[in-house]
Amino acid sequence: MRKGMSAVFVVLAMWAAAAQGEDRMIIVNGTAEKGMDPNLVTMNVEVWSKAATAKQAQQLAANQSKQVKKVFDDFKIKKEDYQTDNYSLSPEYVYDQKTQQNKLVGFRVVQSSIVTLRKVDEAGTFLDALITEKKSTDSGVNVNNISWDSDKRSQVEVSALGDAVRASKVKAEEIAKAAGVKLKGVSRISHGTSGVQPPMPVMRNFGLMKAAADSAPTELSGGQIKVRVEVTAEYEIN
């Protein structure tokens, strides 16, 4: 019985000592933010068509897709930098007031691709090149969104992470100095990263914009991408 009680007391003593040690902490946050110029621009290029029959709609979409693919080739976009992410063929109906039923009026095809340009200064001319030369109400091209990024993001994040850790240490040292204690070392550090620029909606129907072809060229600006890193550090104190 005494051995059992002694074991319990030892466990309780160890728990109390651990709890006391955990209480002797300075917990601080450190942040760092870095900016970088984008060298990648990603957009969703959507080909659409509509016709009386499914076969006709598919053929129109195929023809439109060939024109879009030619633009990709003209701008030397590599195969690995674009991929089809959606394809749909669906019937279209209108409500007939006389029969009070939906009436089939045709079919619509939508095919969208995610495209990445590695020459961001060509983004505007790339959009202009998607404009068809003839007016059409049965097929066209939409650009649904645009987002900017950089293939150097990970390097910038690592650099910012070091700055955030150093910032947390400066805070901890200042707090310890004011409290009359000394730092023993770091007990735990966690971190998070934010700052991905959200996509920019565009939604343009190039199939119906012949007039825009003769207007001023499209200009797009990616600005700067901001990467923000935050760390939470726990420092043991004497």
**Residue 19, in any domain of the structure:** no
**Residue 188, in any domain of the structure:** no
**Residue 203, in any domain of the structure:** yes
pTM here is 0.69
**Residue 108, in any domain of the structure:** yes
Q: What CATH number is attached to the domain comprising 103?
A: 3.30.70.2970
Instruction: Give the angle 189-163-177 at the CA atoms, nearest 5°.
Output: 70
Give tens-digit pLDDT for 18-65.
445 456 899 999 999 999 999 999 999 999 999 999 999 999 999 999
Give tens-digit pLDDT for 100-159.
899 999 999 999 999 999 999 999 999 999 875 566 789 999 998 899 999 999 999 999
**Residue 110, in any domain of the structure:** yes
Total Cβ atoms within 10 A of residue 16: 10
**Residue 162, in any domain of the structure:** no
Structural domain range at position 110: 41-149+198-219
Q: How many domains does the chain have?
A: 1
Region of 76 on the Ramachandran plot (φ > 0 left; ψ -120 to 50 alpha; else beta): left
Q: Is the pLDDT of residue 204 over 60?
A: no
**Residue 90, in any domain of the structure:** yes
Give tens-digit pLDDT for 66-110.
999 999 999 999 999 999 999 999 999 999 888 889 999 999 999
Specify whether the CB–CB gap between 79 and 146 falls below 8 A.
no
**Residue 31, in any domain of the structure:** no
